[in-house]
Chain A
Amino acid sequence: MDFFLEQLGNGLSKGSIFALIAVGYTMVYGVIRLINFAHGEFVMVAAFAGYFCLGALPPSAMPMQGYWALGASMALATACAVLTAGVLAVAVERAAYRPIRKAGRIAALLTAIGVSLFLQNFGIQVVGASDRAFMQERQLPRRVSALSLYKPGDIPPADIYVLHEWPDAATDLEIAFRAGEAIKPEDLADLQSQGVHMVFSLCPMTDGLKRWIIISALAACCLFLHCLVRYTAFGRSMRAVSYDIEGAQFMGVNVNRVISLTFFIGAAIGGLGGVLLALFYNTLDPLMGLIPGLKAFIAAVLGGIGSVPGALLGGLLLGVVEDLVVAYGHFELGSTKFNLTTYRDAVAYTVLITILLLRPQGILGRERAQKL
Chain B
Amino acid sequence: MGDKQAVEEAESTSGRDRLKRDFEILSVEKLAKSFGGLRAVSDFDLELKAGELVGLIGPNGAGKTTVFNLLTGFYKPTSGVIRFAGYDVHGMPPHRITEYGMARTFQNIRLFGDMTVEDNVKVGFHHRTCYGIADALLRRRAFRDSEAEVAQKTGELLDLFSLADKRGEPARSLPYGEQRRLEIARAMAAGPRLLLLDEPVAGMNRSESRDLMALLRRLRVEFDLTMLLIEHDIKFVMDICERIVVLDGGEIIASGSPAEICSNPAVIEAYLGSGGSTPGGGGMNASR
Q: Which residues of A contact B (CB under 8 A)?
A: 224, 227-228, 231-234, 236-237, 239-240, 243-244, 246-255, 261, 265, 366
Contact = CB atoms under 8 A, between A and B. Distances in A.
Interface of B: 72, 74, 93-95, 98-99, 103-104, 106, 110, 112-115, 119, 122-129, 131, 133, 136-137, 143, 146-147, 150, 186-187, 189-190
A366 to B, nearest CB: 7
Contacts of B113: 243
B112 A240 contact: yes
B99 A234 contact: no
Given A249-B95, A252-B98, A239 B112 contact: yes
Given A249-B94, A253-B126, A254-B93, 6 more contacts: A236-B119, A236-B123, A249-B98, A250-B95, A250-B98, A251-B186
A265 B136 CA distance: 14
B123 A251 contact: yes
A174 to B, nearest CB: 44
A232 B136 contact: yes
B115 A250 contact: no
Given A233-B129, A237-B123, A239-B115, A249 B93 contact: yes
A253 B150 CA distance: 15
Contacts of A228: 133, 136
Given A234-B133, A251-B124, A239 B119 contact: yes
Contacts of B72: 250
A240 B99 CA distance: 17
B136 A247 contact: no
A366 B170 CA distance: 14
10 contacts: A228-B133, A232-B143, A233-B147, A236-B122, A249-B98, A250-B72, A250-B74, A251-B124, A251-B187, A252-B98
Contacts of A254: 93, 95, 127
Interface of A is mostly: helix
A50 to B, nearest CB: 21
A253 B126 CA distance: 6
A-B residue pairs, 4 tightest by C-beta = A252-B98, A252-B127, A249-B94, A233-B129
A233 B104 contact: no
A246 B108 CA distance: 13
Contacts of A236: 115, 119, 122-123, 126
Contacts, number: 87
B74 A246 contact: yes
A233 B150 contact: yes
Given A240-B112, A243-B112, A250-B74, A233 B103 contact: no
Nearest to B103: A250
A249 B74 contact: yes
Given A240-B112, A247-B112, A233 B122 contact: yes
Nearest to A243: B112
A224 B134 CA distance: 11
- Looking at A232, A246, A265, which has the most chain B CB atoms within 10 Å of its CB? A232
A224 B137 CA distance: 8
- Looking at A228, A239, A247, which has the most chain B CB atoms within 10 Å of its CB? A247
B133 A247 contact: no
Contacts of B110: 244, 247
Given A236-B126, A243-B113, A231 B136 contact: yes
A90 B98 CA distance: 25
B114 A239 contact: yes
A39 to B, nearest CB: 20
B114 A366 contact: yes
Contacts of A243: 112-115
Contacts of B147: 231-233
Nearest to B186: A251
Contacts of B95: 249-255
A231 B139 CA distance: 11
Given A249-B94, A250-B74, A237 B114 contact: no
B133 A250 contact: no
B74 A248 contact: no
B264 to A, nearest CB: 33
- Looking at A232, A244, A251, which has the most chain B CB atoms within 10 Å of its CB? A251
A106 to B, nearest CB: 23
Nearest to B129: A233
A223 B124 CA distance: 26
A261 B132 CA distance: 11
- Looking at B95, B115, B129, B143, which has the most chain A CB atoms within 10 Å of its CB? B95
B237 to A, nearest CB: 23
Contacts of B137: 224
A279 B188 CA distance: 51
Nearest to B192: A252
Given A232-B136, A233-B150, A246-B74, A252 B124 contact: yes
B103 to A, nearest CB: 7
Nearest to A246: B74
Nearest to B105: A250
Contacts of B98: 249-252
A251 B126 contact: yes
A254 B129 CA distance: 12
B65 to A, nearest CB: 13
A239 B119 CA distance: 10
Nearest to B68: A250
Contacts of B94: 249-250
Contacts of A231: 136, 147
A232 B133 contact: yes
A227 B139 CA distance: 11
Contacts of A227: 136
A47 B210 CA distance: 63
